[in-house]
Structures are given as structure tokens and as C-alpha cells.
Structure 1
């Protein structure tokens, strides 16, 4: 009955938005810590599903609570959990930023105090405070990196506290600290310096040791990434790293020979990151890089990297990266290049290696590193080893980089080894001079050989001359002697005619372009075979494979170079060469093929394509970096120059390849072997004369300006001398005035000193007289105090005698009181006897009452069955009434839920468009009227329930009347029923009914 009444009077169900607003208001104005904590707990329950409402209404007060209640661990934990839920992105794998997270990051970074508050939490020892603070800082940094970096950088002890998390004993906090520092130090030099100088290097290496070194998990990889961020492009950190002797720790990581699980994926990734870290020391070009190269070699890092590259335990990716790292560590350093060539490495990973039959011969076979690199690049035919082969070529390029003597020695030994046939190692000319059946299955053997040869002769005329001595065929035996250029040209035509892999053709084309550039002797050698140029011109327009654009473009580029550097001594005259080119290759086609080559992704996106993963089949690598640079540097200049050469319509532009100006195809002026013109035309002479006159005019103007400047300089010098003389006289006067002032000051000081000494003597005399007076006064006071002491002693003796008399009198009174107490004790004994008698009487009364109670119980047991029947009837009626009330309550709750759902739907519809506001209001009014009608119906039902309850009350009144009748009947039967017993039974029945 009462539950139904309360259900009717309950307020309508509150929405989530209103509840969040109430919780935010309570959090803002609550004065008790428990109330604020309860409000935050409520907001946390809504933070996942109602982020916008909680963030807009509660972020400010959450930050305030975090500051106000920072000493309460439980409250701080709940606040931080709520903030993390607000920052959480539902799509964790999505790279798109969350609008709510962006807004939260803006709110946090607008005030420096907010970031300081989170950083202060890192000083707490509580686990959740430190962990959640790091995660929130990471979320803010992810959404607003620049502003967050500045706030952390300017926060007091901000970076120091972040670095301190690396020393935390709890692993998860160390992990979060490493992740935050990685994001924080990315591309910010000042933060990198502060993080390094606050002990980050030691903290990172300690974590690596705890994780098991290079064989550790992903945390080791993150630590190495952090070190890379701190050292990359930061010379000061690199110097500090060396001063702290951290380089020895790098060597220890690379020299960990207990790694039998080197083939594990985690270990391979850690090694790749470690090798990438080693390369940051030699990123810069110049003396700093050379110093770092020497330092890393001396500490044993470079030899260890090279050993890792040839270790049989290393994976293919690790070997390739180790070779690239070794290349960077020796590139351009002559002393290290010489030491590098003398090193021996493990040959067990080389192609064709076989374990020796004799076990005592040694565990491993070794080879010199250059021989091993050539063997690896040219003899390994496995497609999966492409990265290792490419890295071996890069290592050879680094070995000869910026070292002409090494280049000449390398190519001379290769030429002699091929000519004699006694070279036991892999030779680059084996696949370049003679195309075998393996060239089609392994086109990169020829391509890598061409890449190495191109590196040796690139912009090195002496190396090109040595290669010119390479010939095939024995003239004494009647065989035709064929030069290397003619051999390469023949192989090129063969590869184009028979449709061999395009990489083979491109290898020969790159070599010929680099070799013939600015080398008329090489051009003449190329034109010695008249059919070579004709075949090349015939094939340019008939190449129809998937790499036709590349082949046609590079062939066209080669034809342009041949025409540009041909001379009057060339086997094909320039006029005939010009007509042949235009006869087979029209000028529009010529320029179009060059333009398509420049726009091809293999040329245009060469840097990006080198970092892409290779697809199935052969890698999409067609050119070397040197050739790409060579082509791009000459493309635009050659374009206009060649166009002017062919049709004479445009003015020539000066370029690297073009050596003569305003020269038509009929001009017979050519080039010497060094590429310089040996004849000067009349037009060129006039041009030079005009330029000389211009230079003379400029020189006269400069000379006049020089004279004017000398005159001005003399005037300034005169002014300076006059100023110097005037200033010297002024200084002399100042010195004299200063001397007089100093003398006056000394006299004054002496007078003041004499006066102060006289004052001190007078003060001493006065002090002596005062001390004498004080001494006399003290003696008089001492005599007076002694007289007063004697007087007090006499008075004290008198008082003691009086007290003794008073104590004797008190003892007499105490004796009389003891006699009175004995009489009172007798009276108390008599009273105790009376109390015992009363207790016995009470026991008798209790026994009589128990007997009467037993008789009442017997009487009650006789009529128990009748009362049980009546009670069961009342229970059945009560349960039926409760069932009706519960049904009414459920029906009312369902209708209230239905009305709440309708109200929410109407609110959503109202927010869609302003044009439907009136309709929605009308619908809301109608629904409200219906709700009122339903409430009236529910009130009527409640009235019915009230009427039923009144009927139950009437039934209870009838039962009470029946009880009174039963009492009267018992009295008539002769049973003793007291009024108290009846009242007790009535009270028990009333209590049972209330409990029901």
C-alpha cells in the first residue's frame, strides 16, 4: 500500500545530461572531500558514453579537484581515470584525431599551471598517480605536440622528472616514460639536450640491461629509438655521449655473443634499430664526421658491425643494414678505407662456401673483406638476398668514395685479373664482357657489375683511360681486337634485340653515358663501329616491352651525348651524324622521349622508391644514385642545348655538357681529349671582346670608387687623430681632478679617524665610572637580601609550630569519626537483612506469576487452531492486495519509461532543424496531455487501491472485535483473563500486522 503511494508521488526519471550537470555542479560547490569524490565517481561512469557532456561541463572542475585534492590518493586516481576516458579514442587504430581529444589538449595547454600539475604528480610514489599522469601527458602531446613541448620545456623540473621515470622499479611506468620521451624529443634540439644532460643515457642503458640486452623485447627497441632521437643531428649530445663513455655500451650490445636466438624477430628488430643508431654519428659531412668515424673505429664499433654483417647467425635484413652501416662509417675517410681493405671476415655466408673436411683446419674460413663483398654482390643468385647484394655494392662504393688512388688500384687490378684470367675472386668484367646463359635468370649480376664499374669511372678520367686498355681478342692469332666500349655496345644491342631483361640493357646504357660524357676519345671509340649507331637508332622506336619508356629515354640520352662530344676526327663526321639522327629520330620524338624519361617514377621518385618494400619477383631497381644525379643535373641544360643543335631555332643555354655557343651542325670545331675547344670562331671572339670592354668599364668604375673610398678613409683617419688628441687632454684633466679629490678625501678620512679615536676614549672613561656605580649598588642590594632572608626564616619557624598543633587536633577528630562509622556499619547490616527478606518475597511473587503464565499459555494453545485459520485468511487477502499494488506499480513504471523515451525522441527531433520546432512543440503538448490523462487514470487506480486498503482496515477492526468476543467467552467459561494479558495479545497482533 505504502509503496504504491510512494510510486505515485515519485519525480519523473532524470536524463543523463541532467545528471551530468548535477554532478558537475556538486563537484564545483561541494565543501567535503567525500562529496567531491562521489561526484567524480559519478562523472567517471558517464565519461565513456557521454564524453561531450562530461568534458564540456566537468573538465574545469576536474582539474580544480586534481589540484585541491592532490593529497588524497583515491580522489586523484578517480580524477585521472576520468580524464583518460575522455582522451580515449574509440577507434584506436585510426590516425584521424578525435575532436574531443583536441579540445581537451587545447584546454590543458592554454595554462602552464595545468601541465605543471600533471608533472608534479610524477613526484608522487603512488603507482596510479605516476602511470596515469604519464598517459595523460602522452595523450596531450599526441594531439597538440608543439604547444605541449613548450609547456613541458618551461615547466619547473619538468624534463628532470620525466627522465626520473626511467629509474622507476615498476616496468609499466618505465615503459610509459620511454614512450613519452620518444614523442617529446622528436625534432626538438633543446629538449634533446636537457633530456640527455639529466641522465637519460644512463637510464636508457639500465633499462636495456634489465630487459636482457639486445635479445630483449620491444622495450629495448623503444629505448634505442629514444637514443636515436637524442643523438640524431645533435652534435652536442653526440659529444656528451662520447664523454660519458656510452660508446663502449654500444660495442657491448653488438658484441653479445650469447645470442643464439639472433634469428628471432624481436632480436632482429633491435639490431636494426641499433645499427640505425650507429649511423647517426656520421650523418654530417666534414671534419666532425671524420672524427666520429675514427673514434668509432678505435673503440671497436666498426669492426664489430662488419663482423655482424658476415655472421651466419644474422638474418638477411640485419646483414644488409650492417653493411650499409659499415659503409657510412668508412665513407670518405682514407685512413679507415685502408684499414678496412686489410680486414678479414667470416666466409661461411658467401656463395659456394663448403665446410672443410679436416676438422683441425679451423672452424671458419676467412676472406679479405673486398673479395667477400664482390663474391656476395656478384655470385649470390638468390632473389631474397637482393638487399644484401645492394648493401655490398654500397659498401664497395664507400670504400672508393673520394679516394682516386683506391679507384685506380681497384680498376687496374680488375682489368689485369680479367685479362690474365688468373683472378680467383669475382670480377666485374666477367658478366660485362661476356653475356652468359645466367644473365637472363639473374640480370642483377650484370647490373651490379655495371654499378660498381660506373662508380669507378664516374668523373674520373684516369680510371676511364685504364678501362680503355681492356680489350678482347688476340691479334697475333688473327682475331679481331675489340675494346671494352665496343664490347659493351655489342652486348647492349644484343640485349635489346633479343629482349633480355631491361636491367641488363640499362646497366650498359648507364656505363656508356657516364663513360662517353666529356670524353671525345671514348665517343670516337664508340663510333668506330659504324653499325652500332645505326642499330641503336633503329631500335629506339621499336622497343615494345614494359620498360620501353626507360630504354627509349636512356638510349636517346646516349645518342645526344655521342653527338655533343663528337669531334672532327670522329669516324662519323658531325654533319653526317646530325643527318642520321634526324633521319631516324625526329626532333619532336627526341625531346618527347627525354621528357618521358624525366617524368618516369623510376627517375622522378628515385629517393622514395628506394625505401619501398619489394614486391614478388625482381625488385624494381633500375638505376644507381650516381646516374640519377648525373641525368638530373644535365637534363634541362642538355634539353635546350640539343634542341638548338638540331634545328637552330632557340638560343643555346650554357651547361655542363655544352661547350660551344652559337655553333651549327656544320661547324667543324671540336674538342680535345679533355673536352676543351681547340679553335675559336670569329663570333666567339667578338663576344669575348664585348665582354672584355664591359669588364674594363666596370674596372674603371671600381677604381674611381676605390679612390673615393681612400679619400674618405684619410678624412676619417684625420678625424680620429684629432679626437684622440682631444680625448687625451680630457683624460689628463680628469686625472688631475681625481688626484685632488683623492687628497681631499684622505684628509677628511684622517680627521674623521682622529675624532673617532677621541670619542672612543671618552666612551671608555664613562663606561668605567658606570661599572663602579653598578658594583656599589650590587653590594647594597646583597646586604638587604641577607637581612630579608633572616626575617623570613624566623616567620617560617613560627608557622611550622602552629601547623603541628593543628594536626594534633585533626587526629582527635578523626578518632571520633571512626567511632561514628562503626555505628553506621551496624545500621547498614540491618538494612541488608531487610533487602534479603524483600528478595525472597519477590521470588515468591515471580513463581506465582509463572504459574499464571503457564495457565495462560495452556488457554492460548487450546484456541491456537482457531487463530491460525483466521490468520491464514488474512494472509491470503493481504497477498492479493500486495499483488494488485505491485501490478499497478509495474504498469506505472513502464508508462513512465515510455513517456521518457518519447520525450527524448522529441528532443532529438527538435535539434534537427528550426523549421520543425513548432510541430515538435505541438506534439510535445499533445503528449503532455496524454501523460496527464494517464496520470489521472493512475490516480484513479491508486484511489481504488486506497479503497481496498480501507477495506483491509475494516477487516482488521472486525478481527479486533472478534478478539474481544473471545475474551468475553473465556471469562464466561471460567478462565482467568486479565486486562494486561489481553492488551499484550492485542499489541502482539498489531505488531505482526504491521510487519506483514
Structure 2
């Protein structure tokens, strides 16, 4: 090893021997060329950047144009990056024009050097924000996209994949590069990559036999290329990405819509659906555009309807059904118009008997014999109600035809009846989450349920009996906890308009039949569940097996916000406050009380006004903080450019 390093120091003028020395060093550290039975001592002596003197480090980054020197030098640097990434990255940063000269390798006319340089850059840019910024300012996006287009985009070979890996490293979790990518109009240059489609023959053949591309008729390399490009797009639209990058992005990638509703489901289809979901999540213009997309079917159907057909079909792949639910959730996220459109398809006056609607599919899934379909449909429907009291009240109007000759029943009554019958775990969990979302913050829905006196008596009886059960298995504890949560919602949002089911009477019944300690214990056990913690982390469903499907992200958010309120609501109140102190007051005391109420009311108004002002100031502060962060990033970019220019000149 020392002899090879000595050659690099003393024989720099001899390109042939330098090439041999570099090749020997690169082979020494290349794990793919060393048999596993080689002595560990030989492998442990693999060189590190510190083994090379400063002058020699210059030779490995300054690489001569001679093919015999440049190619093994690229391979050596790549090998060093694999084993000693941080040290090599520091060497490149401190070497004059180190990054610039490595980027020049992408312009080398010899493809083998250019291709190996892509592998080098993939390792060099991994997990190093400073190098990522410098590489981006070295015109990396233009060079990489030019190579991708020259190689045939999605139809290209492994070189396209390597370019996409470098792109992903430059963009993922790097707001500065994401803004630079958007400002440089590079987003438009990505859209031709998605101009792919299945012919009708490929779709038909894909249902009969598995192709190398997973049933799509595509090569494995094309599948990999598209998968990596989808990852690049998702890096631009992730929750941490700047909003100005995400907005209006969907129209530029409209071909994604048609592929995500293809008849030939593949791994790429699942990834496409997840990508579309993140592009439209929380962005009204993108959500509206997605709602207008029709699937390429005969007759044409809205893409949402085609996707929901797959979600409630138990024969479809589990990963597909999860992806569709995530996409549907993202479509409804902060989208009151979309929520209203979904609920309208459930109402009798808007039913269209000549076509399948989203509402019909959700109801079909809700009352299917497949427990997983019940769960998917219940969670999907609950997302049409999240933070939307108007649609919760509208859903009370939904009537269902149970059987011929019998009068229709309300959706609430039917859900209650199914819960009373018991059933599979996922069916009960889905319905309990739906009912909790529906009744929370909606007094009218709670009152409506109380109005069905006989049904509510049975409903409450089952809930209390469920909660009062002795400690059972983990799954039954989940049901008991959700029953306790729903009971608490019925108490907290009760306006006492039904005399037989006032807050006080329900609390007394709860104390008598369940006990406060048992109730609180069952409620507190929910957040301790592993499945709850898993679901509460991210909106996207990360389940690997149908048996893991229990909780939904939005429900976890609702539970967290109401748990403390519910525990407080069921706590017993002092007796002197239960009957009201005003009944025993004199006229003078009552007059004084009214004065206090007036003062308190005025103070409440002031508090509301100041709270509103505080929220405005908080938003302004957040906006100023965001602008300051962007300015700091801009200043850092200018510093990087300045340092780069200084390095190039000196």
C-alpha cells in the first residue's frame, strides 16, 4: 500500500504507471473484487484519504484527461466514498475547485467515465448539504436532465437511474435546492418523463401473465427508472418542501392521473397513486384538477370513482387499497368543496341511478361482508367529515334502503345496528372511528342520535357493557377504549335537549354501570397501543399486512385533542353547582350576579379579541420567520457561490 502511494507521489509524470497504481488501489478497496476468504488484515489496510499527501489528493481530484489515469481515479474516489464518505467529502470541499472538476466529468465524451462519474456523485452528494448546494450551483440540474433526455427518459438504461439517484440526493430535505430547482424552471423539464401509457393490448395481456415490469409489459429497468423519478417528485412535494414548489405542480404532471387509474395494477401504479396523493394534499387548485380527471375507460368515469372501486374490492392487492385510501384522504384534506361533493353523492336528491358514484361505493364498502372493506370505507367517509360541521349535519339526511318492502333507515341508525351486532374487529373499529368523527363537535348529530330513544338505549347499553368487561386480549381492549371515547363524546357534546339523555343522567349512568376509574383507564389505554403510535406518526398508511390495520391518522389526531376534554366532562361536579346557585338567591344577590355576568361577558369579549389579535401576530411572526429563513438560505447560497468563484479564480 505504501509503495503504491509512493508511486503516486514520485511518478506523476508517467501516466501509464500512475494509472496502474490508481487501478491497484481502487481494486484493493473494491469489495466486489476481493474474495471473502482474503485475509482480514489485507482488507483492513484499505486506504483512506489521510493516506495520501496533499499533493496526491490534488492528483485524484485534478485527474488528467488521459483515460488511463482518469478512469481508475474516478473508481478510486468512488471506492473511498463508499468506505470513508465523510473524510472524502471534507477533502473535496477543501480542495481548490474540487467539486467543479468532478462535475466536469459529466461532460467527458467517454461514456464509461461519465457513467462512473454519476456513481461517484451519487456517493459524494449523499447526506451532505454543503456539497449538495455547491453541486447544484455547478449546473448539475441542467447536466443531469440533459443526460436523462439523451438516454431516452424512462426508456433509458441504468444511466438514467443513476442520474435520478443524484437528483434525489440533491433535492430530498434540501429546501435551498428545491427552491433553486423551481426557480430554474426545471419542473417543466421533468414532465416529458411521464408521457408513458399502456396500449390496450398490454393492459389485456397484463391481466393474464406477469411481465418483467411487474405485469405492465415494461422492462425491469424502465420500472426502476419510473420508480426513482416518482421519488424525485415526492421529494418536491413532501410536507417539508416549500409550498411554492408544490403549488400548481399537478397540472404539469397530469399524465400521472391516467396511469394511477390504469387497469393493469403494478408496483409503479401504487407509487404513482402515492405521488399524486402528496401532490394534491392541501392544495386546492391541484385537488380541483384531480376531481375533474376522468379515467380512460368506457364509459369514462371520474378517477376518484375508479380508485374507490379498487379500494372496496377485496380481490385487489392490499398495498393498492392502502394507496387509494391515502390518495382519497389527501384529496379531502383541507378541501371543504371536495368534502361537500362526496357527501352530496350520498344524499337521495343527488343519486344518479345511471352511473356509479363515490357515495354508492363507500356505502357498499361500509356494509360489505369483508371487514377490511368496512374499515377502508368507514375511514374514507370519516375524512369527508373532518373539521366540517356542515357536512356532519348533511350526513344525517342520508337514507339507506335495507331490503325490498321495508322503509329506508338513516345511515346513523344502520351503523348503530351493525355495532350492536358485534362482528369482526376491523368492522367495529372502523365504525367506531366513523361515529366518533361524526359526533365530535356536532351537537345536532349527538341530539339526533339521542332522538332514537330506544335505539340509543341499546347503543348505550352495549357501550357500557363493552367498557365494563374485565381485562381481555389486546384487541378487545381497543374496542373498549373506542367505546369509552364515543361515550365521552356523547356526553361532552350533549346540549341536554333530550330530557332522558342529559349530560347529568348519562354521567350518573356511567358512574353506576362502569365506574369513573374504569372509564378513564380504558380511555387512557388507547394512546399506549403500538398500533395507535404507528398510525399517529404520518398520514400515509404504512401497513404491511391487513391484520395490522387498526387506526387512522386523523382519528388519532381527534383522539389526542379530545381525550382531556372528555375526562374533564365526566368528572362529578359539586352538588351546589348541579342545581344552580341562582335558585336560592335573593333579588339583591341576583342583581349582583347579573352585574358579575356582564363583567365576565365583557372580559370574555376582550379575551376573544386579544386571542384573535394574538393569532394574527403569531401568523405574522411565523411568516416573518419563514421569510427570514429564506433570506438566510439565500445569503448562504450567495456565500457558497462567492466561495466557489474564489476557488475557481485562485
TM range (shorter): 0.7 to 0.9
TM-fit CA distance, 1:210: 5.5
TM-fit CA distance, 1:62: 4.1
CA distance in 2, matches of 1:481, 1:514: 24
TM-fit CA distance, 1:425: 0.9
Q: Once structures 1 and 2 are overlaid, which stretch shifts more, 140-149 or 595-604? A: 140-149
Name which one, 1 or 2, has greater alpha-carbon Rg.
1
Decide whether aligned partners of structure 1 residues 459 and 257 sit closer, same or farther in structure 2, where only a CA change above 3 A counts. closer
1:945-984 paired onto structure 2 within 5 Å: none
CA deviation string 1:497-531 (max 9, x = no partner) = xxx32221111111111122122322233333211
CA distance in 1, matches of 2:505, 2:382: 30
CA distance in 2, matches of 1:273, 1:525: 51
SS of match in other structure, 1:547: helix
Decide whether aligned partners of structure 1 residues 582 and 102 sit closer, same or farther in structure 2, where only a CA change above 3 A counts. farther
CA distance in 2, matches of 1:185, 1:220: 17
Instruction: Tell me the equivalent position of 1:317.
Output: 267
CA distance in 2, matches of 1:65, 1:454: 71
TM-fit CA distance, 1:107: 2.3
Establish whether residue 220 from structure 1 lines up as the match of residue 160 from structure 2: yes
CA contact (8 A) 1:574 1:665 kept: no
2:26 to 84, 87, 94: 84
CA distance in 1, matches of 2:159, 2:325: 33
CA distance in 2, matches of 1:147, 1:455: 49
Decide whether aligned partners of structure 1 residues 431 and 315 sit closer, same or farther in structure 2, where only a CA change above 3 A counts. closer
Decide whether aligned partners of structure 1 residues 433 and 234 sit closer, same or farther in structure 2, where only a CA change above 3 A counts. closer
CA distance in 2, matches of 1:136, 1:291: 37
SS of match in other structure, 1:414: coil
Decide whether aligned partners of structure 1 residues 142 and 435 sit closer, same or farther in structure 2, where only a CA change above 3 A counts. closer
Establish whether residue 416 from structure 1 lines up as the match of residue 380 from structure 2: no
CA distance in 2, matches of 1:142, 1:340: 42
Establish whether residue 597 from structure 1 lines up as the match of residue 526 from structure 2: yes
Establish whether residue 449 from structure 1 lines up as the match of residue 383 from structure 2: no
TM-fit CA distance, 1:640: 5.5
2:258 to 307, 320, 326: 307
TM-fit CA distance, 1:207: 3.8
Instruction: Tell me the equivalent position of 2:7.
Output: 65
CA deviation string 1:929-982 (max 9, x = no partner) = xxxxxxxxxxxxxxxxxxxxxxxxxxxxxxxxxxxxxxxxxxxxxxxxxxxxxx
CA distance in 2, matches of 1:579, 1:488: 26
| Alignment coverage as a number of residue pairs | 569
CA contact (8 A) 2:446 2:490 kept: yes
Decide whether aligned partners of structure 1 residues 158 and 638 sit closer, same or farther in structure 2, where only a CA change above 3 A counts. same
Establish whether residue 337 from structure 1 lines up as the match of residue 287 from structure 2: yes
Establish whether residue 398 from structure 1 lines up as the match of residue 330 from structure 2: yes
Decide whether aligned partners of structure 1 residues 621 and 126 sit closer, same or farther in structure 2, where only a CA change above 3 A counts. same
CA distance in 2, matches of 1:684, 1:631: 39
1:453-852 paired onto structure 2 within 5 Å: 453-472=381-400, 482-494=409-421, 496=422, 500-527=423-450, 528=453, 529-540=456-467, 541=469, 547-570=475-498, 571-606=500-535, 607=537, 614-615=544-545, 618=546, 620-635=548-563, 637-638=564-565, 641=568, 645-646=570-571, 667=578
1:77-476 paired onto structure 2 within 5 Å: 77-84=19-26, 86-88=28-30, 104-105=47-48, 107-108=50-51, 113=55, 115-121=57-63, 123-127=64-68, 129-209=69-149, 211-238=151-178, 240-241=180-181, 246-256=186-196, 262-283=217-238, 289=243, 292-294=246-248, 297=251, 301-312=252-263, 315-347=265-297, 365-378=299-312, 380-384=313-317, 386-416=318-348, 420=351, 422=353, 424-428=355-359, 432=363, 439-440=368-369, 442-472=370-400
CA distance in 2, matches of 1:334, 1:197: 33
CA deviation string 1:560-595 (max 9, x = no partner) = 222222233243233332232233333333333233
CA deviation string 1:249-270 (max 9, x = no partner) = 4222211459976443332222
CA contact (8 A) 2:304 2:358 kept: no
CA contact (8 A) 1:574 1:666 kept: no
**Which residues of structure 1 form unaligned runs of 5+?**
1-53, 348-363, 649-661, 670-680, 700-996
SS of match in other structure, 2:12: coil
CA distance in 2, matches of 1:176, 1:101: 25
CA deviation string 1:440-489 (max 9, x = no partner) = 3x323222221222111111111111112223579xx9977743323222
SS of match in other structure, 2:62: helix
CA contact (8 A) 2:23 2:76 kept: no
SS of match in other structure, 2:248: helix
CA contact (8 A) 2:396 2:411 kept: yes
CA distance in 2, matches of 1:471, 1:267: 49
CA distance in 2, matches of 1:113, 1:667: 87
CA contact (8 A) 1:112 1:155 kept: no
CA contact (8 A) 2:346 2:398 kept: no
SS of match in other structure, 2:347: helix
CA distance in 2, matches of 1:373, 1:663: 54
TM-fit CA distance, 1:305: 0.9
Decide whether aligned partners of structure 1 residues 486 and 663 sit closer, same or farther in structure 2, where only a CA change above 3 A counts. farther
CA deviation string 1:195-222 (max 9, x = no partner) = 2232323432344356543134444222
TM-fit CA distance, 1:289: 2.9
SS of match in other structure, 1:569: coil
SS of match in other structure, 2:247: helix
CA distance in 1, matches of 2:5, 2:384: 67
Decide whether aligned partners of structure 1 residues 575 and 151 sit closer, same or farther in structure 2, where only a CA change above 3 A counts. same
Decide whether aligned partners of structure 1 residues 525 and 258 sit closer, same or farther in structure 2, where only a CA change above 3 A counts. closer
TM-fit CA distance, 1:72: 1.6
Decide whether aligned partners of structure 1 residues 304 and 634 sit closer, same or farther in structure 2, where only a CA change above 3 A counts. same
CA deviation string 1:325-346 (max 9, x = no partner) = 2233333333343333222221
CA distance in 1, matches of 2:87, 2:576: 64
Decide whether aligned partners of structure 1 residues 557 and 114 sit closer, same or farther in structure 2, where only a CA change above 3 A counts. farther
CA contact (8 A) 1:135 1:176 kept: yes
CA distance in 1, matches of 2:41, 2:378: 52
TM-fit CA distance, 1:277: 1.4
Q: Once structures 1 and 2 are overlaid, which stretch shifts more, 320-329 or 209-218? A: 209-218
CA distance in 1, matches of 2:513, 2:598: 35
CA distance in 2, matches of 1:552, 1:98: 61
CA distance in 2, matches of 1:687, 1:86: 86
SS of match in other structure, 2:295: strand
1:915-994 paired onto structure 2 within 5 Å: none
Decide whether aligned partners of structure 1 residues 296 and 416 sit closer, same or farther in structure 2, where only a CA change above 3 A counts. same
CA deviation string 1:907-942 (max 9, x = no partner) = xxxxxxxxxxxxxxxxxxxxxxxxxxxxxxxxxxxx
TM-score in terms of structure 2 length: 0.75
1:866-885 paired onto structure 2 within 5 Å: none
CA deviation string 1:832-869 (max 9, x = no partner) = xxxxxxxxxxxxxxxxxxxxxxxxxxxxxxxxxxxxxx
